[in-house]
Structure 1
Amino acid sequence: MTITQLKYVLAIAEHKNFTKAAEKCFVTQPTLSTQIQKLEDELDVQIFDRGKKPIELTDVGRKIVQQAKNIVDESERIQDIVDQQKGFIGGEFRIGIIPTVMPTLLPMFLKNFIKKYPKVHLKIEELTTEEIITRLMDGHLDAAIAATPLENDTIKERVLYYEPFVAYVPNDHRLKDKKKIDVTDLDLNDMLLLEDGHCFRDGVINLCKVFKSNEDDKFQLESGSIETLVKLSNEGLGMTLLPYLNTLDLNEKMSEKLRHFKEPSPAREVSIIYHKNELKMQIIDALHNVISGVIRGAIAFQNVEIISPLPNNMKP
Structure 2
Amino acid sequence: MKNLPSLKNLHYLIHLHREQNFNRAAKACFVSQSTLSTGIQNLEELLGQQLIERDNKSFMFTATGEEVVARAQQVLTDVTDLVDLVQQQGKPMTGDVRLGCIPTIAPFLLGRLLSQCQQKYPELNLQIKEDTTEQLLLALGEGKLDLLILALPVETHGFHSKKVGIDPFKMIVHKQFVSGLKEPVDYHSLPENSIFLLQQEHCITGHAISACQLQDTRKVHPFSATSLHTLVQMVSCKLGATFLPQMAIDSGILKGTELEVLDPPGEEPYRDIGIVWRQTSSRLTTFRGIGDEISSLLQ
Q: TM-score, normalised by structure 1?
A: 0.79
Aligned to 2:113: 109
Inter-CA distance 260–128: structure 2 relative to 1 (3 Å threshold):
same
Residue of structure 1 aligned with 2:279, choices 269, 276, 280: 276
Q: Residues 269-312 of structure 1: CA distance to partner in whole angstroms, max 9, x if unpaired?
A: 1111223334543442232122222222xxxxxxxxxxxxxxxx
Inter-CA distance 288–210: structure 2 relative to 1 (3 Å threshold):
same
Inter-CA distance 188–135: structure 2 relative to 1 (3 Å threshold):
farther
Inter-CA distance 50–91: structure 2 relative to 1 (3 Å threshold):
farther
Residue of structure 1 aligned with 2:295, choices 281, 292, 295: 292
Aligned to 1:241: 243
Structure 2 residues without counterparts, runs of 5 or longer: none
1:212 aligns with 2:209: no
TM-superposed deviation, 1:127:
1.4
- The amino acid that maps onto 1:124 is I
Aligned to 1:42: 46
Inter-CA distance 132–181: structure 2 relative to 1 (3 Å threshold):
farther
* C-alpha distance in structure 1 between counterparts of 2:278 and 2:286, whole Å: 14
Aligned to 1:57: 61
Contact 2:81 2:282 in 1 (8 A): yes
TM-superposed deviation, 1:172:
4.1
Inter-CA distance 29–225: structure 2 relative to 1 (3 Å threshold):
same
* C-alpha distance in structure 2 between counterparts of 1:91 and 1:172, whole Å: 51
- The amino acid that maps onto 1:290 is E
Identity %: 29
* C-alpha distance in structure 2 between counterparts of 1:123 and 1:53, whole Å: 39
Query: Tell me, what secondary structure is at the counterpart of 1:237?
Result: coil
Which shifted more, 143-152 or 160-169? 143-152
Aligned to 2:146: 142
- The amino acid that maps onto 1:142 is D
Inter-CA distance 201–12: structure 2 relative to 1 (3 Å threshold):
same
Contact 2:73 2:142 in 1 (8 A): no
Query: Tell me, what secondary structure is at the counterpart of 2:17?
Result: helix
Aligned to 2:76: 72
Q: TM-score, normalised by structure 2?
A: 0.83
TM-superposed deviation, 1:54:
5.8
Contact 2:81 2:280 in 1 (8 A): no
Inter-CA distance 180–232: structure 2 relative to 1 (3 Å threshold):
same
TM-superposed deviation, 1:191:
0.7
Query: Tell me, what secondary structure is at the counterpart of 1:94?
Result: strand
Q: What is the correspondence of 1:16-31 to structure 2 with a 5 Å cutoff?
A: 16-31=20-35
Inter-CA distance 283–187: structure 2 relative to 1 (3 Å threshold):
farther
- Number of residue pairs matched? 292
Contact 2:16 2:25 in 1 (8 A): yes
Aligned to 1:10: 14
What's the Cα RMSD here?
3.0
* C-alpha distance in structure 2 between counterparts of 1:63 and 1:212, whole Å: 45
Q: Residues 159-182 of structure 1: CA distance to partner in whole angstroms, max 9, x if unpaired?
A: 121111111122343775545547
Query: Tell me, what secondary structure is at the counterpart of 1:236?
Result: coil
Query: Tell me, what secondary structure is at the counterpart of 2:148?
Result: strand
Contact 2:92 2:286 in 1 (8 A): no
Aligned to 1:303: none
- The amino acid that maps onto 1:155 is F
1:124 aligns with 2:93: no
Structure 1 residues without counterparts, runs of 5 or longer: 297-316
Query: Tell me, what secondary structure is at the counterpart of 1:192?
Result: strand
